Amino acid sequence: MENQDKYYKGLFFGAMLGAAVGTIMGLLFAPRKGADTQMMISGKLKNAIDKAAELYEGSENDEIYSNDAKHRSQEIIDSARDEARKILDEANNIIRDIRGQSKSLEN
């Protein structure tokens, strides 16, 4: 068990070291200047954030779909509630019948 822990610990540190060395080597041998690379990365990051904000804010159709889903889920909940009440009523009737039969057997 202890050897297995050492193995995973070594694997983790090796992966971290490899990632760090790969990043440094990539930056050293990059075809662009560091400032150009930073601007390119920040531009892509800004675009990704803007797209995420658009998706988060949603569109006009989201409200329609949301209301439709809410309406459908409420119908399902109401239907399940009605079925549960029916089952509970049937169970109570069966219990009353059993109690009535046991009282008639005692007399």
pLDDT tens string 15-46: 999 998 888 888 777 777 777 777 877 788 78
Mean pLDDT taken over the chain: 79
| pTM of the entire predicted model | 0.36
Q: Where are the domains of the chain?
A: 61-107
- What's the rounded Cα separation, in Å, for the pair 79 and 90? 17
Closest CA to 41 of 26, 22, 25, 57: 26
pLDDT tens string 42-58: 788 788 888 877 776 66
Q: What is the pLDDT of residue 15?
A: 92
Q: What is the pLDDT of residue 22?
A: 87
Q: Return the higher-pLDDT residue of 14 and 105.
A: 14
